[in-house]
Every structure is written in C-alpha cells, then in structure tokens.
C-alpha cells in the first residue's frame, strides 16, 4: 500500500466530517431553537423522531437512506437529475449518513443549551424593544454558546466515526468513498493489522482531542 493509499481515507473522513458537521450544526441548532418556541399536540412524537437515529442500528439507518435516496425512489431520481449522477455510492452519501446519525447529539446539546438560558434575561431584552431575532442573536445564542460549541464538536466526532450507515449507502470504494472506519474494516479483513492499527491510532488521538475540547467547553469555572 502506498503512502497516498494510507492518507486517502484520512482525508476523505476529514472532508466528510467537516462538511457534515456544518450541515448538522445548522439543522440541529435550528430545530432546537424552533421546537423551543412551539407548543403543539404531538411535539413529543416529533422530538422522539429526532432522537431515533441515536438508538437505531446504523445499518437500519443506512438501509432506509438507501431506499429513500436510491435510483428507484422519487427523491433519488430528483437528486440524480440535479447533480447529474446518483447520490448513492458517492462521498456525498457519506455526508448524508453522517448528518443523520449525528443529528440527535447536536439537537439534544443545543436544546439543553437553550434551556439553560434564564428566560427573564430574554424578557428583559424584549421589554427594551428588541425583536425576536435580536433576542436570539444578542442574548440566547451568546448565553448558550458553550453548549452549541460542544454540540458542534460532538457532531464532528460522531460524523468522523460513522461506519454502519456509511457503508450501506456510500460503500467502501478505495480513494472514492472509503473512510477511516471502513478502511480499518477492510484492513482487518485482509489481515493487514499494521495499517488497521495506524488508522485506529490516528482516529483515537483525534477523537480524544475533540472530546477533551468538548469537556473543556462544558466546564463551568
């Protein structure tokens, strides 16, 4: 195996995790902010659906994504028309899988962050003439910023380590859709334990660093 073959999964994992973390941060934070303001029958059902990817087997998530975005589905045909190629078995499919599995972590962390904000401070801002968008921008988001940063880091880490859903919808194509988790799986299957350990060490060190930063963010001095 060449040096390029060794680095390719690392680069692709970073690319997928970086892209997915941005999408899932926007979606998760937006959903938490939106749900915080709403009161409706069935809200618990919706929030349960949001959290479902956290407990479902990743292969189940991957299978559902494969059916929904496959070439035989309406959504799959639309995405193929838009991008002139199927989304299945591309690095974009890896991003999609990572977004879905990381969403519950980001959503729940953002929800906790928003819940930690003292409502009297938001009411004080409104009484001084601030609009809802100004309250969100200048009061809610700054006061919950530690939680939001932690949510982003956890979303990135979860996207980086995704395996089951990714291998179902994106496959395990070297230099194309092979991420570090799928590369480790292939290396072990082929008996190449040296490469497996090297990729494992890289992921362990990076994941440890991410979680350490997340824990530091969550500390209240």
Structural domain boundaries of the chain? 3-218
Digit-coded pLDDT (tens) for 31-42: 999 998 888 888
Interacting residues of 65 by C-beta distance below 8 A, sequence separation 6+ = 93, 96, 97, 100, 165, 168, 169
Nearest residue to 61 via CA among 100, 88, 87, 93: 100
Nearest residue to 100 via CA among 68, 135, 143: 68
The CATH number of the domain covering residues in 3-218: 1.10.3720.10
Q: Are 203 and 161 a contacting pair, CB within 8 Å?
A: yes
Digit-coded pLDDT (tens) for 152-190: 999 999 999 999 999 999 999 998 999 999 999 999 999
| pLDDT by residue, tens only, the chain of 221 residues | 677 788 999 999 999 999 999 999 999 999 999 998 888 888 899 999 999 999 999 999 999 999 999 888 999 899 888 888 889 999 999 999 999 999 999 999 999 999 999 999 999 999 999 898 899 999 999 999 999 999 999 999 999 999 999 999 999 999 899 999 999 999 999 999 999 999 999 999 988 988 888 777 656 54
Start-to-end C-alpha separation, the chain: 48
Interacting residues of 171 by C-beta distance below 8 A, sequence separation 6+ = 89, 93, 177
Give this prediction's pTM.
0.91
Nearest residue to 30 via CA among 106, 132, 144, 101: 106
- Helix 43-51, helix 3-37: angle, nearest 10: 170
DSSP letter at 137 equals I
């Amino acid at each position: 195996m060449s040096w390029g073959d060794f680095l390719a999964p690392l680069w692709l994992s970073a690319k997928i995790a970086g892209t997915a973390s941005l999408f899932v941060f926007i979606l998760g934070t937006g959903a938490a902010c939106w749900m915080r303001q709403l009161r409706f029958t069935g809200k618990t059902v919706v929030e349960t659906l949001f959290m479902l990817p956290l407990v479902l087997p990743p292969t189940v998530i991957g299978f559902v994504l494969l059916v929904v975005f496959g070439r035989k589905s309406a959504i799959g045909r639309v995405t193929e028309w838009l991008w002139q190629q199927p989304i299945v078995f591309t690095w974009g499919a890896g991003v999609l899988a990572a977004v879905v599995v990381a969403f519950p972590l980001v959503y729940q962390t953002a929800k906790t962050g928003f819940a930690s904000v003292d409502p009297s401070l938001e009411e004080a801002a409104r009484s001084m003439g601030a609009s809802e968008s100004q309250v969100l921008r200048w009061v809610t988001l700054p006061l919950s910023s530690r939680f939001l940063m932690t949510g982003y880091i956890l979303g990135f880490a979860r996207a980086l380590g995704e395996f089951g859903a990714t291998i179902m919808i994106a496959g395990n194509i070297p230099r194309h859709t092979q991420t570090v988790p799928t590369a480790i799986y292939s290396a072990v299957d082929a008996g190449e334990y040296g490469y497996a350990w090297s990729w494992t060490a890289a992921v362990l060190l990076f994941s440890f660093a991410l979680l350490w930063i997340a824990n530091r963010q969550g500390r209240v001095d």
